[in-house]
Amino acid sequence: MGDFLEATLARVPDGFDLPEPLRLLFAWVDEQGFVVKGHDGDLYGSLSDNGWVGTSIELRGYTAEQTLSYARSWFDESVPDAAARLWPFAQTGGEGSMAALWRDGQGRVRIVHLGSGSGSLMTCVLADDAVDFLRLLAIGYREICWNEEFGAPPEPWDADHEIVNAPYRDWLHRTFGVTAPATGLDIVSEPAEMGDEDTTDPFCRWVDNKDV
């Protein structure tokens, strides 16, 4: 087991099991050498050694202290168990949006998105199944935090951006026998935004204190 995967598994909080597809992702990133040590001494993983290939995402499981601090920044005392039901494991956008595991009121664990608020507002379930989350990463959006882009196939930001991350897509197909869909809406059926009064998305409703 590589250092990156080992460090990640050590941070998975009580009450959660890291879904096997995510464990395999972190192991693959480790094996490919797509891990760097930050100035803080922590390890950060990505899907390529070239930041302009495919989707940009920063993989790093939060510590218990970081999870608590993050939950407090999002929720007031009306959601006392927020830190026990969330585990951030990836930064999805350069403005600070995050993907996390979330345990709903019935104990089911899903992958959710928390927009930064200063940029992305998307706050919703990204995937009920971890393989679908991996398929979302394979589509080729520069970042997966911008829900307004999900209705169409991705376009390159500039001449240096390669939409298709071939090594990642090949690994996804070989490992799970799946391919990337055409658009984000094929995975994220209701990319709700924080404060959406009419949404049926369970995570957005929980964030807005409409459901337990």
Q: Dump pLDDT digits (tens) for 104-127.
A: 989 999 999 999 988 999 999 999
pLDDT score for 78? 66
Measure the CA–CA gap between 9 and 7, rounded to whole angstroms: 6
Higher per-residue pLDDT: 1 or 65: 65
Alpha carbon distance 84, 126 (integer Å): 19
The average pLDDT across 181-186 equals 98
Query: Residue 14 burial by CB count (10 A; 0-12/13-18/19+): exposed, middle or buried?
Result: exposed
Write down the pLDDT at residue 208. 84
What is the mean predicted confidence (pLDDT) over 180-205?
94
Higher confidence at residue 118 or residue 173? 173
- Tokens 């996390």, residue? 100
Calculate mean pLDDT across residues 49-73: 95
Q: Please tell me the distance from the alpha carbon of residue 119 to that of residue 121, in angstroms, as a whole number.
A: 6
For residue 188, what pLDDT is reported?
97
Average pLDDT over residues 67-79: 84
Q: What is the pLDDT of residue 185?
A: 98
Place of tokens 């919703």: 124
Mean pLDDT of the chain: 94
